């Protein structure tokens, strides 16, 4: 027992030292606030935050796990931002959606979160300065791209400031947490599709009903004891539900990519991604002619999608993601060459690549 008491005394001393260091850090953060104000710099800097997280992960020798350390530092950064200026973050709501979860992962618990009913409303919230940043889904690793997000970029003049990669885990939950007595299951159509095999095996014949969101499903189930919802762990916490089964998705390697939208884009980090949208002349080989410029400059295109322009029949807008920052010489050269062959081209932003 004496040894245990000594060890606990050591822990207490270390905790006191951590507390002192956190408050010393907070005082410097307040000095940074004044320096940023003098230089008219924004509170949130994805470039600087990525630099901090990469450095912490690189220097960690354990045994404290790196994943837990990064989560801890994200909260420290969130609190530091709130000391300078509380951030307002619009997201595709309601509360406890996966977009809400992604926003909290990026901005921490100290930001103010504003749920919006549509993706376009998130964009408008940022465009009208109701929020400094917005978070919207852009693609899922099993279900593909969210076309509506691409469409809104054509309507509103906003940039991509960052991206978030979130591992999607679907959970079946109810008020009681009992596997028996379930007469209906609610969720958004996308999670239903991603859990189809598990549902057919475990709840054959039980009606599976579509909802506006996983959060809306959880909210409804909180009032219906004989029903269950497929939703996130955050939904279970907010709506006081108990888990029937965790991780019911058919494919475990399931990720959704989200974009952080803003009125400007960050600087280079050395590990960046650039997104452009462009339209080409309607002629044979037009798209090939565009793509060869990226090949010539050895730029890796990680994605290319097309959407109807809605201005003219059979006219399309292309969206392309590429590795590198628009300030990188080879990226700038390639984009300038492509622009010369396009009817229209806009860089939607260069931003840190997600882990």
Q: Is 317 helix (H, G, I), strand (E, B) or coil?
A: strand
How do residues 278-331 score in pLDDT, each as one tens digit? 988 777 787 888 889 999 999 999 999 888 876 665 577 889 999 999 999 999
The whole-model pTM stands at: 0.83
Neighbouring residues of 290: CB distance < 8 A, sequence distance ≥ 6: 278, 280, 318, 338, 341, 342
What string of H, E and C letters represents the secondary structure of 62-78? CCCCHHHHHHHHHHHHH
Pair of tokens at residue 231: 């939703």
Active centre residues (catalytic): 256, 258
Q: Give the pLDDT score at 252.
A: 86
102 vs 259: CA distance, rounded Å:
10
Q: Domains, the chain, ranges and CATH?
A: 16-84 (1.20.59.10), 88-168+255-262 (3.40.190.10), 171-245 (3.40.190.10), 272-352 (3.30.70.260)
The single-letter DSSP state of residue 353 is P
Q: Is the pLDDT of residue 89 over 90?
A: yes
Q: Give the pLDDT score at 24.
A: 93
Rounded mean pLDDT, 96-106 = 91
State the greatest distance between any 2 C-alpha atoms of the chain, in Å, as a whole number.
83
How do residues 176-196 score in pLDDT, each as one tens digit? 999 989 999 999 888 998 999
């Amino acid at each position: 027992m004496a040894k245990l008491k000594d060890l606990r005394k050591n822990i207490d001393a270390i905790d006191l030292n951590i507390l002192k260091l956190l408050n010393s850090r907070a005082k410097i953060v307040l000095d940074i606030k004044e320096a940023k104000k003098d230089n008219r710099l924004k509170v949130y800097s994805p470039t600087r935050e990525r630099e901090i997280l990469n450095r912490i992960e690189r220097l960690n020798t354990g045994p404290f796990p790196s994943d837990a350390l990064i989560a801890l530092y994200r909260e420290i950064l969130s609190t530091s931002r709130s000391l300078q200026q509380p951030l307002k973050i619009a997201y595709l709501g309601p509360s406890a959606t996966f977009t809400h979860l992604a926003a909290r992962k990026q901005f921490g618990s100290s930001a103010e979160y504003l749920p919006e009913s549509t993706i376009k409303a998130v964009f408008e919230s940022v465009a009208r300065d109701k929020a400094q940043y917005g978070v919207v889904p852009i693609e899922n690793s099993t279900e593909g791209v969210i076309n509506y997000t691409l469409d809104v970029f054509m309507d509103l003049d906003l940039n991509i400031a960052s991206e978030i990669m979130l591992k999607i885990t679907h959970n079946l939950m109810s008020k009681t947490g009992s596997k028996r007595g379930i007469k209906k299951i609610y969720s958004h159509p996308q999670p239903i599709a991603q859990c189809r095999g598990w549902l057919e095996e475990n709840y054959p014949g039980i009606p599976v009903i579509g909802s506006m969101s996983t959060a809306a499903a959880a909210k409804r189930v909180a009032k219906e004891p004989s029903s269950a919802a497929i939703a996130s762990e955050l939904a279970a916490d907010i709506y006081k539900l108990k888990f029937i089964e965790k991780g019911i998705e058919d494919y475990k390697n399931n990720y959704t990519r989200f974009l952080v939208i803003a009125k400007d884009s960050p600087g280079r980090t050395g590990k960046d991604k650039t997104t452009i949208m462009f339209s080409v002349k309607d002629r044979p080989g037009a798209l090939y002619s565009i793509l060869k410029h990226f090949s010539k400059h050895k730029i890796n295109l990680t994605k290319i999608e097309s959407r109807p322009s809605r201005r003219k029949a059979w006219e399309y807008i292309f969206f392309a993601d590429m590795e590198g920052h628009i300030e990188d010489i080879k990226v700038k050269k390639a984009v300038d060459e492509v622009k010369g062959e396009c009817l229209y081209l806009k860089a939607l932003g260069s931003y840190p690549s997600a882990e």
